[in-house]
A and B are shown apart, each in its own frame.
Chain A
């Protein structure tokens, strides 16, 4: 089962390519993005390490169970609600961003309501399935789409129009103090690990934490963050790249498959990343739903033996997201996303406190 841990982490890393992370980094391109990316990767790796180490002490137990056993009720409920809100927002950011991307690039004439409803139906269905099925869903998606993603990334880097001098200019801004927003955005790449709170039920064995796994995670994270940042710069130039609202979509539109089935790579890119985005949203929302269920004690909420709480979650989540899609403008979405990222250290801080409390009480 250990491989699922890597899937969880990597799927979230890749999903961030189309979300706000590249734009945040690019906006800070001459404000210390480079050092921030390195520091963000180190911080992310550290958080991953601590989280895995914590759950290793409790194989097969998820956070909800642990909180219930070891902490007082007021503490566990408030922590769970806070966590559920964070999970939900993380999923919603990807959802709203992707809806905006779809209407801008793929189907400009379709009403936004139709796009929103069709995405919400797919994502909501992920709330109704078993937690274990989510893990299998991740595996299948990774198997099907990772060759395509690798092909796409290679195609964009090994391309005549990829101008290495622009990338070097970006690198030459290494002599600047790290930027806070860029730092939190880079840390966000490692957000996948927090899903262990829900999925640890299936990790019965200890997860190995030697040099090699950390090296894979560190190198993988560094690889993804540098592609996220440098590919748009290499193709779109350094000086005016910050004018592009979706740097990665524009980059994919700049790559030509001369003898491909379709010449314009964007559509191919959008469809592949649609799958990745839906998966990422599903993971987050599924987590949010499980946390909320546990916090509010929704397990008792039954009708003729059927558990109604996932349906309740699905309706609540979809409704709020629907309103967000309708009323947010792109600028608002971006600034709220930045606030959310900037508050990320608080989230990690609270996680650490929770880990510490549980560990202390368990040791007694």
Chain B
């Protein structure tokens, strides 16, 4: 009798469960990406939504199908509320995987609207933050030729399951927040561009921004250095030139360590040790296996030059890839510790020591 009563109660309790918190999947629409641009006519923002449209089966689909909606308003939240009146279905933000922001917006007041995305608990903190050039709306509307049904090209760049390249920076929403607001570290966000025909997406630059300093754009080479030094992304190519010999290194392992040297309780220099292991991938002359040490030295010189250039650019702009964080992490906390660092950082000498270890000249001598 007891079991029977319990079974009845359990069965009855299924009545109040109707899945998806009372709204069926066909009454919902999945947003894949949100784009934000400055408003064209007034103060505020222009919000673009990229919405994935369901297909009955992947076999029948000729390609991916997306819908786009745009709305201008004073705040991002308002625009999204208005957009709810443009679409007959419930906007489902749980699947937003990319927040695409116009590059211009990084210059002022990105905190204003980034707050909205972390405050809304249904938006994933593992969504990618991407800077768009020339505008977020344009980037979102591109459907590249290589895009297959039921995939989103825009996301494949960043999720490490498709292409993997040292030119591509990945920045998650939570990472952007902690680095942008953190003292002693600044956020690196990839820039996504397009070609003239608007059928390609190109990701090989990055924008560096932090609270209280002007953002700078890193070119391809510097972006590559950032990713391989700080994110240990392998597969990077280096061009080494010496007289009439030019060869390319193919590096598959990068290891960097750094520490802050301090004298009289004041930071005096940054000491960086970097180790590269790899092979020679391309050369305009015949190479000799015995002269690998010579090639090592040539490469060390070339890489050191590029690294110095990379760090100097950041330093001049007052942006920090994480040195200040290390400084704070290795000293007992005291009042004014970070201020001391901030003051010293701009003209702190950087001492770089590069070791290159080439294993082979490839399949050819």
**Chain A residues close to B by CB (< 8 Å):** 30, 104-105, 107-110, 114, 118, 121, 160-161, 163, 165-166, 168-169, 172-176, 235-241, 249-250, 253-256, 258-259, 263-264
Contact = CB atoms under 8 A, between A and B. Distances in A.
Interface centre among B121, B177, B328, B334 (most CB of A within 10 A): B121
13 contacts: A108-B121, A161-B175, A165-B325, A169-B329, A172-B328, A172-B331, A172-B332, A175-B332, A235-B174, A237-B179, A237-B181, A250-B174, A253-B174
Contact of B21 (A109, A161, A240): A109
A104 B121 contact: yes
A121 B182 contact: no
A264 B125 CA distance: 9
A239 B121 contact: no
A105 B125 CA distance: 12
Interface in B161-194: 161, 172, 174-175, 177-179, 181-183
Contacts of B182: 166, 237-240
A172 B121 contact: no
A241 B126 CA distance: 16
Interface string B131-167: 0000000000000000000000000000111000000
A87 B174 CA distance: 37
A30 B328 CA distance: 13
A236 B23 contact: no
B332 A174 contact: yes
B13 A121 contact: yes
Contact of B178 (A105, A176, A236): A236
Contacts, number: 92
Nearest to A265: B126
A173 B22 CA distance: 48
A237 B16 contact: no
A105 B123 CA distance: 10
B332 A240 contact: no
B124 interface: yes
A160 B161 CA distance: 15
B74 interface: no
A63 B329 CA distance: 49
B330 interface: yes
A289 to B, nearest CB: 20
B21 A107 contact: yes
A161 B160 CA distance: 14
Interface string B1-28: 0000000000001001000011100000
A175 B333 contact: yes
Interface in B322-346: 322, 325-326, 328-334
Contacts of B125: 250, 253-254
B23 A109 contact: yes
A109 B22 CA distance: 8
Nearest to B334: A175
B36 to A, nearest CB: 21
A311 to B, nearest CB: 14
B176 to A, nearest CB: 10
A253 B126 contact: yes
Contact of B161 (A104, A107, A258): A258
A256 B334 CA distance: 35
A264 B332 CA distance: 36
Contact of A114 (B16, B325, B331): B16
B122 interface: yes
Contacts of A259: 161
A169 B332 CA distance: 8
A23 B121 CA distance: 17
Given A236-B174, A238-B182, A264 B328 contact: no
B161 to A, nearest CB: 6
B178 A263 contact: no
A238 B181 CA distance: 10
A275 B64 CA distance: 40
Given A108-B122, A109-B21, A121-B13, 11 more contacts: A105-B122, A108-B121, A118-B13, A161-B174, A161-B175, A172-B331, A175-B332, A235-B174, A237-B181, A240-B181, A253-B174
